[in-house]
A and B are shown apart, each in its own frame.
Chain A
Amino acid sequence: QVQLQQWGAGLLKPSETLSLTCAVYGGSFSGFYWGWIRQPPGKGLEWIGEINPSGSTNYNPSLKSRVTISVVTSKNQFSLKLSSVTAADTAVYYCARGFLWFGDFYPDAFDIWGQGTMVTVSS
């Protein structure tokens, strides 16, 4: 049973850098897309970005200048960094696995999710 376990700092000051890590347990890491999605309190989901099996990344255009997603394949982990945070970045952040079905990747589908990390930005 594949599980994603995520962690990182939950309280940041404006202008600091958000840093979260997600570890993959119980399944293959290579060959999958890995993504980050966030959800402000009481609001909807927002796609942050993803990294593909070759290490290429795609980011939400509205966040692209501040986001970095990377992997540490040897540890079955991937991470999210979001620089220069403001109160608008306060949200629950989820890591997730891109969905593969019979060898085809479905770019907007995420089938395994982490437990979520609440990140609050406040001075």
Chain B
Amino acid sequence: QSALTQPASVSGSPGQSITISCTGTSNDVGGYNYVSWYQQHPGRAPKLMIFDVSHRPSGVSNRFSGSKSGNTASLTISGLQAEDEADYYCSSYTSSTTLFGGGTKLTVL
């Protein structure tokens, strides 16, 4: 099983929107609606930001949104803020296991 594919880095200015992609296969991202996104600040545990492709747990800002098309899921962050600077990971369910993406470093310019 290979990790899901994410861009190594993305960047944006405060107030802008950015999108991070997560590409898998028909056996994982494309085959299930079980896609999640995590935010991780340095030295901290990951935080669940999106589950079930597009749903936000309570307490997560509505600036974070998720979607999926075919084998690629996406996380969009609108109205970028300095505190959004972090690593972001996608995950997907497949055959009774969970795959993570390689991670994307978001830099807020």
Contact = CB atoms under 8 A, between A and B. Distances in A.
Interface of A: 35, 37, 43-47, 50, 58-62, 94, 99, 101, 106-111, 113-116
Nearest to B101: A44
Interface of B: 1, 3, 34-36, 38, 45-48, 51-52, 55, 57, 89, 91-93, 96-103
Interface of B is mostly: strand
Contacts of A37: 46, 100
Given A99-B51, A101-B55, A106 B34 contact: yes
B25 to A, nearest CB: 15
Given A94-B46, A99-B57, A108-B91, 17 more contacts: A37-B100, A44-B100, A44-B101, A45-B91, A46-B100, A47-B99, A47-B100, A50-B98, A60-B1, A94-B45, A101-B57, A106-B52, A108-B51, A108-B92, A109-B52, A111-B57, A113-B46
A100 to B, nearest CB: 10
Contacts of B93: 107-108
B38 A45 contact: yes
Given A44-B101, A46-B100, A47-B98, A110 B48 contact: yes
Nearest to B103: A44
A35, A37, A109 — most chain B CB neighbours (10 Å) = A109
B36 A62 contact: no
Nearest to B50: A109
Contacts of B57: 99, 101, 111
A106 B36 contact: yes
Given A44-B3, A44-B89, A107 B48 contact: no
8 contacts: A44-B89, A50-B98, A61-B1, A108-B34, A108-B98, A108-B99, A109-B34, A114-B45
Contacts of A113: 45-47
A44 B105 CA distance: 11
